[in-house]
Amino acid sequence: MEFHNILVPVNSSPADEEAITLACRLAKRDKAKIMAVYIIPIDRTLPLDAELEAEVEKAERVLDRMESIGAGESCAVETDLLQARDAAPAIVDEAIQREADLIVIGSAYQRRFGQFSLGDVIPHVLKHAPCRVILYHQYTPDKVE
Amino acid sequence: MYIIVAGAGIVGFHVASLLAEANHEVTVVESSEEVVESVRRQLDVKTIVGNAATPRILREAEVNRANLIIAVTNNDETNMLICFLAKELGAVMTAARVRNPDYSGYFITAARSPSAARKVIRPKTLGINLIINPEVELADAIMGMLSSLYPTPGENFADGRVQIREFRVDQGALADKSLADISFPQPGVVAAISRSGKTFVPAPDEVIQKGDHVYLVAHRESMDEFREMFAPPQHPVRNVVVFGAGRVGFLVAEGLEKHGLTIKVIDENTTRCQEIAARLERATVLQGDATDPDFLIEQGIPSADAFIATTESDELNILCSLLAKNLGVSRTIITANKPGYVSLAEAIGVDVAVSSLLQVASRVTHFVLHGGAISAPFIGGKDVQAIEFVTSATANIAQRSIAEVGLPKGVIAGAIARDDTVTIPPNDSVIHPGDHVIIISSLSATPAVERLFK
């Protein structure tokens, strides 16, 4: 199994840092390209090309962090910033556009209505992804039921 | 670090001299032979005559091993091209001075379909790590001063949990007391003192004199109590006069207008006044001579809360702000192109003088990182630096206390920030890996401090 283009969708969750480390380790063997993508969700009250300075600043910080984690693993991480209505279809689109052969996506433990939940993004990506997906679930011992 | 400075104008020269003084290996690239000659005479740097926006010259400057390239020629586009080429040729970091506000660095690409995601083009995509706009930096600094109740801008550390602020000792309460005798209402450390134009890190028994500028490290939330110790309470600013409708003047006026302040802009140039009047929504634009007291009185300037002089001429800025002060304006701020005028202006009665050069230098030095440091702004001029380190597990200082290690002369530990706790003064607590440590150091002692965190 070889990977050449690995897409890692990131936001500011702690699971992303581990997901990018995993991607770097996978990439090293096949000299694959890693693309970290941050998606700014745009509220429907705003146009898609609205300029959201604070959001962009936050995104830059996250992407910088991803680059430095990559550098620590001696792996070049390409970073990209997108604005979209919904993150999930944008991730799938980006994977198609960039001909990704693997998506590594991090998931932190979260609950919704008192139940464990994967959120909206991950199920959509798993269902529609045009390539393999590795779901990296962060281990948080105090939260496991 | 190996640093290339492209363009040896006022900013380039100043940045190069600063970096050379801090023992970095610096190469200056400049197209004018005359300028290069003067750089060679005054600074201990390597020089290359030629156009830095060409791969040949960049290769000659050994761009492939550069840790940082700073493009500060007169032309925005050239600067961006230099960064782009340098990045492609192997430079690690790039910084460009870009004055045109249209190049904010970010733009959004056209979409393939109305609902498709938009790609945000970032300066980094264009090979630029840092865009420096001196005018925007200056305007931000001025607005920072006016929007807070502090007379001067502050520097933030450890995600804003720790601040360093400058206070002037005017009243008798603190003057003639030694640092050891002063008890602060909250934990705080005097990081540096600026006296007659020189900034230094004080010894524990240093005596504070009237007129000193004191730089204080404290938790952000306790800063207000310190302010009350040093300065009489200031009332919020509502009416502001901006003299000079240049780029800085316009940015300040526009920014303050957004915050709902009443603005008057004065400029001598009629065309410029018309231009700016069309671009500002509510501000009153006055065409006239700000050195004429009758004109100022007639226009009601004496009732303003603050007077900001932002013309190109330092002398005019100083003169007009003194005049405004004389007429009764309580706060005066000027911009000074020549860094040497900053202390002079403040000595003769201007409240705050900000220099675009020092702002740019401080931005660049934030970037010229020392081993493990994440931020390193200058404090009051260019003699003292506040450096924020994130302690690594292998650092010499890890798992030891500052008192145990012993800091070199001219160095003070300001604060340790760990998760939500901030320790000030930090001398007796043990430093753990991951702690943010804020160290204040004179430039000559910086290498010794870096060794502690290696």
DSSP codes joined into one string, B302-324: GG-SEEEE--S-HHHHHHHHHHH
d(CA A36, CA A106): 12
CA distance B291 to chain A (A): 39
Tokens found for residue B350: 């201007």
Contacts B120 to A, Cβ<8 Å: 40, 56, 81-83
A67 in Cβ contact with B129 (< 8 Å) = no
- Inter-chain Cβ pairs, chain A and chain B, closer than 8 A: 36
Tokens found for residue A52: 């959201």
Q: Residue-wise pLDDT tens for chain B (454 aa)? A: 899 999 998 888 888 988 888 788 999 999 999 999 999 999 999 999 999 999 999 999 999 999 899 999 989 999 999 999 999 998 888 889 888 877 777 788 777 777 788 888 888 888 888 888 888 888 888 887 776 666 666 777 877 788 888 887 776 667 778 877 777 777 888 888 888 778 888 887 888 888 788 888 888 777 777 777 776 666 777 889 999 988 889 989 988 888 888 899 999 999 999 999 998 888 899 998 888 889 989 988 888 888 999 998 999 999 999 999 999 888 899 998 887 888 888 888 888 888 887 778 777 776 665 555 667 777 776 778 888 887 777 777 878 888 887 888 888 888 888 877 788 877 778 888 778 888 888 877 877 887 787 7
Span A5-137 CATH architecture: 3-Layer(aba) Sandwich (3.40)
Q: Among residues 87-106 of chain B, which lie with CB inside 8 Å of chain A?
A: 106
d(CA B424, CA B218): 7
Q: Does A25 touch chain B (CB under 8 A)?
A: no
* CA neighbor of B66 nearest in space, from B41, B39, B85, B38: B85
Q: Does B112 touch chain A (CB under 8 A)?
A: no
Neighbour count for residue B309 (Cβ, 10 Å)? 30
Q: Is A46 helix (H, G, I), strand (E, B) or coil?
A: coil
B220 in Cβ contact with B162 (< 8 Å) = yes
Are A93 and B120 a contacting pair at CB < 8 A?
A: no
CATH of the domain at B107: 3.40.50.720
Q: Is residue B63 part of a domain?
A: yes
B108 closest CB neighbour out of A79, A83, A94: A83
Q: Does A5 touch chain B (CB under 8 A)?
A: no
B91 in Cβ contact with B134 (< 8 Å) = no
B116 closest CB neighbour out of A56, A79, A93: A93
CA distance A141 to chain B (A): 20
Are B119 and A84 a contacting pair at CB < 8 A?
A: no
Cα four-point dihedral sign A93, A95, A97, A99: negative
Q: Is residue B335 part of a domain?
A: no
Q: Does A78 touch chain B (CB under 8 A)?
A: no
d(CA B407, CA B425): 14
Q: Among residues 122-181 of chain B, which lie with CB inside 8 Å of chain A?
A: 122, 124
pLDDT reported for residue B316: 92
A80 closest CB neighbour out of B108, B116, B119: B119
Contacts B106 to A, Cβ<8 Å: 51, 56
Q: Is residue B420 part of a domain?
A: no
The Cα-based distances of A137 to A22, A110, A116, B93, B158 in angstroms read 11, 11, 12, 34, 29
d(CA B36, CA B51): 12
Q: B418 - beta bridge partners? A: B421
pLDDT reported for residue B373: 65
Residues B126 and B243 in one domain: no
Strands, DSSP E only, in A19-99? 33-41, 77-84
Residue pLDDT, tens place only, A40-62: 998 888 888 888 888 888 898 88
The Cα-based distances of B66 to B56, B93, B127 in angstroms read 15, 8, 14
CA B312 remoteness from chain centre: 19
CA B15 remoteness from chain centre: 13
B241 in Cβ contact with B324 (< 8 Å) = yes
Last residue within a domain, chosen from B312, B329, B346: B329
Contacts A90 to B, Cβ<8 Å: 117
Are B120 and A82 a contacting pair at CB < 8 A?
A: yes
Q: Is residue B299 part of a domain?
A: yes
Q: Does A51 touch chain B (CB under 8 A)?
A: yes
Closest alpha carbon within chain A to B116: A84
d(CA B167, CA B370): 27
Contacts A71 to B, Cβ<8 Å: none
Q: How confident is the model at residue A127 (pLDDT cuts 50, 70, 90)?
A: very high
Q: Does B196 touch chain A (CB under 8 A)?
A: no
Neighbour count for residue A76 (Cβ, 10 Å)? 12
B115 closest CB neighbour out of A79, A81, A85: A85
Are A83 and B122 a contacting pair at CB < 8 A?
A: no
Total domains present in chain B: 2
d(CA B48, CA B421): 49
Q: Is A88's pLDDT higher than 80?
A: yes
Q: Among residues 355-384 of chain B, which lie with CB inside 8 Å of chain A?
A: none
B108 closest CB neighbour out of A39, A49, A90: A49
Contacts A40 to B, Cβ<8 Å: 120
Last residue within a domain, chosen from B284, B305, B329: B329
Are B117 and A60 a contacting pair at CB < 8 A?
A: no
d(CA B288, CA A33): 61
B317 in Cβ contact with B243 (< 8 Å) = yes
* A98 or B115: which leads in pLDDT: A98
Query: What size, in residues, is chain A?
Result: 145
Contacts 24+ apart (CB under 8 A), B151-154: B151/B231, B151/B234, B151/B331, B151/B351, B151/B352, B152/B352, B153/B354, B154/B223
Contacts B116 to A, Cβ<8 Å: 84, 93
Contacts A81 to B, Cβ<8 Å: 119-120, 122
Closest alpha carbon within chain B to A81: B120
Contacts A60 to B, Cβ<8 Å: 122
User: DSSP class of residue B266?
Assistant: E
**Over the range B73-84, which residues count as b (16 or more CB within 10 Å of their CB) and which as e?**
beebebbbbbbb
Tokens found for residue B432: 């753990």
Whether the complex's predicted ipTM is more than 0.90 is answered with: no
Q: Does A40 touch chain B (CB under 8 A)?
A: yes
Q: Which helix (H) or strand (E) holds B19?
A: helix B10-21
Q: Is residue B344 part of a domain?
A: no
Q: Does A37 touch chain B (CB under 8 A)?
A: no
Are A48 and B111 a contacting pair at CB < 8 A?
A: yes
Last residue within a domain, chosen from B132, B162, B179: B132
A83 closest CB neighbour out of B114, B120, B124: B120
Tokens found for residue B176: 């003639």
DSSP codes joined into one string, B57-78: HHHHTTGGG-SEEEE--S-HHH
pLDDT reported for residue B372: 54
Cis peptide before B425 (omega within 30 of 0): yes
* CA neighbor of A69 nearest in space, from A119, A108, A15, A5: A15
pLDDT reported for residue B225: 76
Are B117 and A94 a contacting pair at CB < 8 A?
A: yes
**Residues with Cβ < 8 Å from B169, sequence gap 6 or more?**
B175, B208, B209, B210, B211, B212, B213, B214, B230
pLDDT reported for residue B50: 93
Domain interval for residue B64: 2-132
**Taking the domains of chain A in order of start, what are their residue ranges?**
5-137
